[in-house]
Amino acid sequence: MVMDINEIREYLPHRYPFLLVDRVTELTVGESIVAFKNVSINEPFFNGHFPHHPIMPGVLVVEALAQVCGILGFKTVNKLPADGYVYYLVGSDNVRFKRPVMPGDQLVLQANVIRGKRGIWKFACRATVDGELACEAEIICAERKVA
């Protein structure tokens, strides 16, 4: 299952400059997702992190991974933000950064369901660039109804 940016925007409430997923290339409902983020020098955070040696902040790499977890969660339970639901990032464990993510990189985002129970999901996540591990983490998301 492939998702372009228009479909991704249906499954994520995020918008510029915080939408960090450009395309989904693989998705198996209830199991796994593979997506990517094209990292451009035009990203607003590069002005300050760091001007002479631009690096994507690690917290935004984790956020990008959490966003693909949200897409997988929404697809799995067949709900949308338009239905009044949101996936919150509620935890991360065993986060490790292995290489910097820089302008021009294509960040490949992968998440696999570890478990889901009563709206709480745990995912095993990896972010890679050119097959090289940039970040790995276990991410916990909670599905919530919003008013």
Active site residue ranges: 49
| Two tokens, residue 58 | 């690690």
Residue pair 60/20 in contact by the 8 Å Cβ criterion: yes
How many Å apart are CA 2 and CA 33, to the nearest integer? 10
Q: Which of 117, 106, 109 is nearest to 143 (CA)?
A: 117
